């Protein structure tokens, strides 16, 4: 199990790397995170919903993802409440206070344990991931993700600290000192992450940490920029604001307050033909060749924000000026004429006019569609794949303009013309047919097609190589053999 001194210290990435290492070494590993909080989710083959990070880790293991890998998912709907997804299906919305302070955590912990036990029967070893800090004393008694799960499963547990944040000695020492004796005994080692420069210069630092904590430093991982693993949290998007770039196809993704499934655009980040940036700046939107409206956990609220900050008009003007404008999931809904929420599922706004780019009307419904899908895009013959996760149904006011034809015979999405379309399908851009169609009609420095699946596999292997070079793998396997 990999736990952390805080959030964003690299738990998910490290977990992914060890998943790939264990697969390479002949094991049959699987990831597990009891409770995840993220708007970045994924549909399992069975049609259920889990956190995207566990889907990525399952991919690194070479296996299909399953709800047992992330039995509890919290999807924030606003600053104070979240939709609770249990074993892949929504079971209601709760305020943060009610969720973390209420008495339902014991039942959820039992659900998490049951999921782990089912997973353990099918895979070995299980690579667990914690959440945030292991030493939040005000929440620790109700924790179901960190040391409580570590002790329950008797996991070989490693504490990860981010040295780039500063204060690594205090954060490591303090995190361990605040644990009780049983929890401290569960910690078998420490991983220092994101070290810049010559790692040999930290030899004295390693010894100091080992003397302070009585725990070995398993390794010191370098700060790297050349390995690209899909990220769990949209906090990373703060580093991806940028103006347009000459010689590239400039693609602007509208930055929404409650953006969901931003990994829909990872393929564009790495395609050599494209310069991708996230923005709500009107000038940057006007300078783009392609404008994409992403998914949202609260479509009406985010559309209301776009109308107030001038971005809605900028998107409409981009369309008028001949730019390509597409929408995915919530972004697709925003492109229509009207979005209605008669049951006030998303909030107290029952209806809002859309951007008027597509002749569709959407009604938000309580029922949530979650499924993987196969489809053909436009008039192409080749099969594509993706997944749907949305609450709401869209009706076309002008028939026979569907974008995709699903393998089950249903029609999906809407295409006005080659420069304006929308779809509910997440991962639609991961298909080479779709991405090449989207990028057609532009000149760029590179005309080479980009194989995103091959790229991802290369990244998992590169990550595994870096970890092997930086970690005492003999000690790692010794710890596992002792359990």
Tokens, residue 352: 């809002």
Cβ partners under 8 Å of residue 272, min gap 6: 445, 446, 448, 450
Q: For residue 326, what are the β-bridge partners?
A: 292, 421
Cβ partners under 8 Å of residue 377, min gap 6: 384, 403, 404, 428, 431, 433, 434, 437
DSSP structure string for 317-344: HHHHTT-EEEEETHHHHHTSSEEE-TT-
Is 319:356 a contact under the CB 8 Å cutoff?
A: no
CA distance 301 to 56: 29
CA distance 232 to 8: 9
Which one of the listed residues 329, 373, 384, 390 is annotated catalytic? 329
Q: Which residues of 35-68 are buried (b: 16+ CB within 10 A; e: fewer)?
A: bbbbbbbbbbeebbbbbbbbbbbbbbbebebbbb
Smallest CA-to-CA distance from 292 within 339, 323, 321, 252 is with: 252
Percent helix, percent strand, percent coil in the chain, to nearest 5: 35, 30, 35
Known catalytic membership, residue 426: yes
Is 18:473 a contact under the CB 8 Å cutoff?
A: no
Output the CA–CA distances (angstroms, integers) from residue 21 to 33, 49, 61, 285, 477, in the order listed: 19, 26, 9, 41, 11
CA distance 385 to 425: 9
DSSP structure string for 22-47: HHHTT-B-EEE-SEEE-S-EEE-TTS
Q: To 5 degrees, how large is the angle CA 77–CA 83–CA 88?
A: 135
CA distance 51 to 88: 9
CA distance 110 to 184: 23
Is 392:365 a contact under the CB 8 Å cutoff?
A: yes
Residue 482 buriedness (CB in 10 A; 0-12 / 13-18 / 19+) = exposed
In whole angstroms, what separates CA 108 from the centre of its chain?
A: 22
**Residue corresponding to tokens 């009610």:** 98
List residues with catalytic annotation: 329, 426
């Amino acid at each position: 199990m990999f736990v952390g001194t805080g959030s964003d210290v690299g738990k998910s990435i490290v977990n992914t790397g060890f998943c790939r290492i264990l697969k390479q070494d002949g094991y049959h590993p699987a990831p597990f995170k009891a409770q995840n909080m993220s708007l970045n989710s994924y549909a399992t083959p069975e049609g259920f919903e889990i956190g995207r990070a566990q889907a990525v880790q399952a991919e690194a293991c070479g296996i299909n993802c399953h709800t047992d890998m992330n039995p509890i998912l919290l999807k924030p709907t606003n600053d104070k409440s979240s939709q609770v997804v249990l074993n892949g299906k929504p079971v209601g919305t709760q305020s943060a206070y009610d969720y973390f302070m209420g008495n339902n955590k014991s039942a959820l912990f039992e659900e998490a344990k049951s999921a782990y036990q089912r997973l353990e029967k099918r895979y070995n070893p299980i690579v667990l991931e914690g959440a945030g800090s292991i030493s939040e004393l005000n929440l620790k008694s109700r924790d179901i993700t960190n040391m409580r799960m570590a002790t329950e499963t008797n996991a070989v547990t490693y504490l990860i600290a981010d040295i780039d944040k500063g204060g690594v000695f205090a954060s490591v020492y303090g995190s361990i000192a605040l644990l009780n004796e049983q929890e401290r005994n569960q910690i078998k080692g420490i991983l220092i992450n994101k070290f810049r420069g010559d790692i040999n210069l930290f030899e004295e630092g390693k010894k100091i940490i080992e003397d302070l904590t009585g725990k070995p430093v398993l390794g010191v991982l370098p700060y790297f920029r050349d390995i690209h693993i899909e990220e769990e949290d949209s906090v990373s998007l703060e580093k991806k604001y940028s103006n347009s770039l000459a010689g590239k196809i400039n693609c602007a993704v509208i930055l929404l307050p409650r953006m969901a499934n931003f990994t829909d655009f990872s393929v564009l980040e790495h395609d050599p033909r494209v310069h991708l940036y996230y923005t709500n700046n009107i000038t940057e939107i006007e300078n783009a060749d392609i404008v994409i409206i992403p998914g949202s956990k609260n479509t009406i609220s985010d559309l209301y924000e776009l109308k107030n900050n001038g971005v809605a008009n900028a998107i409409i003007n981009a369309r008028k000026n001949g730019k390509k404008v597409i929408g995915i999931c919530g972004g697709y809904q925003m492109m229509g004429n009207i979005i209605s929420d008669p049951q006030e599922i998303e909030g107290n706004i029952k209806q809002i006019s859309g951007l008027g780019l597509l002749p569709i009307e959407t009604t938000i419904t309580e029922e949530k569609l979650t499924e993987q899908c196969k489809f053909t895009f436009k008039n192409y013959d080749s099969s594509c794949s993706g997944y749907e996760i949305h609450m709401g149904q869209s009706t076309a006011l002008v028939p026979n303009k569907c974008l995709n034809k699903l393998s089950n015979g249903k029609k999906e999405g809407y295409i006005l013309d080659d420069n304006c379309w929308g779809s509910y399908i997440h991962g639609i851009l991961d298909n080479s047919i779709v991405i090449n169609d989207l990028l057609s009609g532009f000149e760029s420095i590179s005309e080479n097609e980009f194989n995103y699946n091959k790229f991802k596999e290369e990244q998992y292997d590169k990550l595994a190589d870096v970890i092997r070079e930086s970690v005492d793998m003999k000690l790692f396997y010794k710890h596992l053999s002792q359990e």
